[in-house]
Structure 1
Amino acid sequence: MTSSLGLDFGTTNTVVALPAAPGSTDGAAPLVFEHNRQEFSAFRSVLSFWTDESLPNSPIESDAGPWAIEHFIENPGDCRFLQSLKSFAASPLFSETRIYGQRFGFEALMAKFLTLMQARAGSQIEKLPRRLVVGRPVEFAGSAPDPKLALERYRAALARFGAQDVRFVYEPVAAAFFFAQRLTRDATVLVADFGGGTSDFSLMRFEVRGKTLQTRALASSGVGVAGDTFDFHIIDKLISPSLGKGTTYSSGSQDLLLPNRFFTAFARWSELSVLKTSRDFRELKKLLRTSNEPERLQNFIDLVEGDQGYALYKAVSEAKARLSSSEETELSFTWEDVDLGFTVRRADFERWIAGDLQKMSGAVDTAMRRAKLENSEVDKVFLTGGSSFVPAVRRMFEARFGAERIETGDELVSIAHGLALIGESDDIDRWCAPEEI
């Protein structure tokens, strides 16, 4: 058994990697899962809980990944489906959620997810290695995130999971370490890691000395804008207006605009499970009685109560992915009496995310300024993560650094591989992120 494990706990997917066996030409290998005869390494970061309410004291059952999704699809009204756990890690506003009367804080949910994932890995990881090297974003997602709180929650969850020695490494630093294994000469490398909730950027200097790779971190920066934000724009611009956004309700002798906060929570699909049990949602249902377009609002309420957040997210995410290779695509979503259909054009999508791209570019500016580097001094740019496939994202880096310097590959597993390799390095402390004070 190896002495370390790399854990890339992501907003959308989680990847776990182990250092390769001695003598292997591969530096690290991800855990491989199998579901419905399909193998994969990117394990969906979701949980499902259910119980047999017809029986007294029936235990709460649970599963994770595609098995959780499968159970939810087959029993949408009879289970609790939770997604995007990572987006709550740094939020002081989230303390707990109740599932069938039982309280679950972030720590319990993360530990449950990891335990279920380990069980699905079978013999690959029956016993945890002593050391866990865990990726963390440079900037956590959310409004006014508290990184110290997030790391405290991570540590508590990992202790429940059974971890002994936990080390945190910035996610783009891990990706840089992975990328550096292919270098044959000295290079200054910018790593852009696009996750589901955050986009992080790190500048590293690598020097090749025979078979030894020497390195030093130059600077890092990050921003809470990434793939989920891109999805939000599609929902906000196309779907939410069909579900009541922009409509009015009667209040006395005047018509008032329905508050946008309802649709902000709904469009951010990771918050749907929280919205369903919130005071805001109870208020929304009361407004249905005086809505001037009750059909739209009823569709909104039905989708929330019917736990259709995942299905809606999947349709949006797939449409976004198709825009990477097509100028336009169709986005369709149907459930019971709800039938939505739109044509999504890449030109419109790129206009919607223009502000997000500016924020990403600003974070790159910050990293470059901290490193005291000019664009011409960066030898390679390594793009990793799902949003690296978005043409507008790639063009932004090509325009700045030149297409010949852009590198991609292993977009979904590079961080976990880098974490596993760092776990085996003799100078691991050089790679670890500083503790939050």
Structure 2
Amino acid sequence: MPPASQNLSIGVDFGTSNTVVAIADSEGRVEALTFAHGGKDLKVFVTALCFWDERHGNGLRTQVEGGPWAIEQFLDGLSAHRFIQSFKSFAASQSFQETRIFRERYRFEDLLSAFLRTLARHGGDRIDFSARNVVIGRPVQFAGSHPDDALAMSRYRTAFSKLGAKHAHYVYEPVGAAFFYARQLEHDATVLVADFGGGTSDFSVMRFSRSGGVLRAEPLGHSGIGIAGDAFDYRIVDQVVSPRLGKGGSYRSMDKILSIPNHYYANFARWNQLAMMKGSGDLKELRELARVALDPEPLEKFIDIVEYDLGFALYRAVSSAKVALSSQDETEFRFKAEGVDIRASIARRDFETWIAGDVVRIAETVDQALANAGVAAGEIEKVFLTGGTSFVPAIRNLFVDRFGEERLTSADQFESIAYGLALIGQANEPARWAVGGH
């Protein structure tokens, strides 16, 4: 890690699923901050929060943890808790004003600042948000059906300012990845950067040149869409898991045979939403449905997943299956816990059918980035892919078809954006890389 005495800059890639912090020095050396947890040094900090109550004297005091410590607290389940995951997806939502956690109300900026405090606490004195050069990533387009960009950025600035980052620069995430990649360029080039996160897929067309040894860049066009890795996971859940938990089944009501409502299965879009079913009344309704279902066993498995907080383990199994399909034509999905046993063979061709609509929309967004830049596909000299979803064959083939295999390159799926953001903090006039020049 660059020595503390150097003039350091901090890059923060606040992601839907994971957050990465990188530190760069004036010599161009850059490393990701590591977090010691469970005997491992982790370079990613899971974007999650867990709140719980502890008794202090005659009253209760709310405690909060973030990252892998939040998941640990949630899985321990030793006290009443509230677990929040992937809250970045609400940043640009006007309909999300606040959520109540025990006795307090939390706005989005309150959740983000609470998360950043846990990150800073576990990161130690290496994270100084009051430093002069703090560069924070943001998506080209925030997630949601009608995202309010100005609202999201106001919330970002409020939250980061609470931690001291009052003069931070906000840079498009794919621009951070592009800056990291551009250090490898030996000649001037027009580059398309494709950044696939958990919640959004973002694309930037950049023109890089060197003059007097100084790297210069001109952003030509950007585009983004709220479809990425989480959406692909949900396709597997919807096609493989939910039907084995009662989706599509029937129940008897009076003299009628009715379909089990699908809305219960929408909770699988985020694994932590399953745990929230306990307090929403959904679990009670599921038990009543199981008593009158024509085939109650699948619903009983669903109930067990909720009761025993198996959502996290289930999604790990789903994610493993998706990763396996990137290198195999077929994989065996297997989830077994607390008496719930789900197994199924998944063929890559079926998975690609399930995500076909998503891939089409991603392809249209790539085309939009090129159109915004006024650049034809043939004028792109390099395509830089980053993010785990870039390894999905259907996604990679999209870029091969448009640009050719020889023009594609990739880097570390988690760290390249944070590295680039930290390096921008060491650049001359880092503000010119920022969205809106600030």
TM score, norm. by length of structure 2? 0.91
Shift of 1:215: 1.5
Among candidates 16, 27, 31, match of residue 11 of structure 1: 16
Amino acid at match of 1:65: G
| Contact 1:97/1:274, CA 8 A, preserved across alignment | no
Deviation for aligned residue 1:55: 7.8
Q: Please give the alpha-carbon distance, in whole angstroms, between the structure 2 residues aligned to 1:155 and 1:223.
A: 22
Say if 2:129 and 2:165, in contact at 8 Å, map to a contact too: no
Give the alignment of 1:34-433 within 5 angstroms. Answer: 34-52=36-54, 56-75=58-77, 78-125=80-127, 128-269=130-271, 271-272=273-274, 275-278=277-280, 284=286, 287-433=289-435
The alignment-based identity, stated in percent, is 48
**Alignment partner of 2:436 out of 431, 434, 437:** 434
The 1:386/1:216 distance shift into structure 2, 3 A limit, reads same
Deviates more, 1:67-76 or 1:384-393: 67-76
**Matched-pair contact (CA < 8 Å) for 2:174–2:203:** yes
Q: Report the Cα distance in structure 2 between the residues aligned to 1:90 and 1:276, rounded to whole angstroms.
A: 28
CA shift in 2, pair 1:276/1:415, >3 Å: farther
Residues 246-286 of structure 1, C-alpha deviation per residue, up to 9 Å, x if partnerless?
A: 12233443222223222123233364455554466665555
The secondary structure found in structure 2 opposite 1:144 is: coil
Gap regions ≥5 residues in structure 1 = none
Query: Secondary structure of the equivalent of 1:193?
Result: strand
Q: 5+ unaligned residues in a row in structure 2: which ranges?
A: none
**In the TM superposition, what is the alpha-carbon distance from 1:216 to its structure 2 partner?**
0.8
- What CA distance in whole angstroms lies between the structure 2 residues aligned with 1:120 and 1:223? 32
C-alpha RMSD of the superposition = 2.4
How has the CA–CA distance of structure 1 residues 208 and 131 changed in structure 2, closer, same or farther, with 3 Å as cutoff? Answer: closer
Deviates more, 1:106-115 or 1:228-237: 106-115
1:137 CA drift (Å): 0.8
Q: Is the 8 A contact 2:45 2:67 kept in 1?
A: yes
1:226 shift after superposition: 0.3
Q: Distance in 2 between matches of 1:6 and 1:270?
A: 28
3-state DSSP of counterpart to 2:435: coil
Conserved 8 A contact 1:385-1:412? yes
Per-residue Cα deviation, 1:309-333 (whole angstroms, up to 9, x for no partner) = 2221111112211222222222222
Mark the CA change 1:25 to 1:266 in structure 2 (over 3 Å): closer, same or farther.
closer
Deviations 1:222-263 (A, max 9, x none): 111100001000100010111121122334432222232221
After the TM superposition, which of the residue ranges 264-273 and 409-418 deviates more from structure 2? 264-273
Q: Which moved more, 1:186-195 or 1:394-403?
A: 394-403
Supply the AA of the counterpart residue of 1:16: V
CA offset digits 1:353-400 (Å, max 9, x no partner): 111111111001111112222211000000001111212211211121
Indicate if the aligned counterparts of 1:262 and 1:281 stay in contact, CA closer than 8 A. no
Q: Note closer, same or farther for the CA distance 1:204–1:55 as it changes in structure 2 (3 Å cut).
A: same
Would you say the 8 A contact 1:82–1:273 is kept in 2? no
Residue range with higher mean Cα deviation, 400-409 or 54-63? 54-63
> Partners of 1:314 and 1:130 in 2: how far apart?
39
Counterpart of 1:383 in structure 2: which amino acid? Answer: L
In structure 2, relative to structure 1, the CA distance for the partners of 1:289 and 1:90 (3 Å cut) is farther
In structure 2, do the counterparts of structure 1 residues 41 and 351 end up closer, same or farther at CA, with 3 Å as the change threshold?
same
Once residues 271 and 37 of structure 1 are traced to their aligned partners in structure 2, the CA distance between those partners, rounded to angstroms, is: 29
1:207 Cα deviation (Å)? Answer: 1.3
- Aligned-partner Cα distance in 2 for 1:126–1:178: 22
Distance 1:328 1:200, change over 3 A: same
Number of equivalent positions: 433
Contact 1:65 1:117 survives alignment (8 Å): yes
User: Cα distance 1:100–1:55, how it changes in 2: closer, same or farther (>3 A)?
Assistant: farther
Q: Any conservation in 2 of the 1:177–1:422 contact (CA below 8 Å)?
A: yes
Rounded to whole Å, the distance in 2 between the matches of 1:102 and 1:276 is 20
Greater mean alpha carbon deviation, residues 341-350 or residues 248-257: 248-257
CA separation of 1:367 and 1:257: change in aligned 2, threshold 3 A:
same
Distance 1:193 1:132 in 2: 21
Q: Conserved in 1, the CA contact under 8 Å of 2:205 and 2:220?
A: yes
Structure 2 CA distance, aligned partners of 1:367 and 1:274?
Answer: 38
Distance in 2, Cα, partners of 1:185 & 1:191: 17
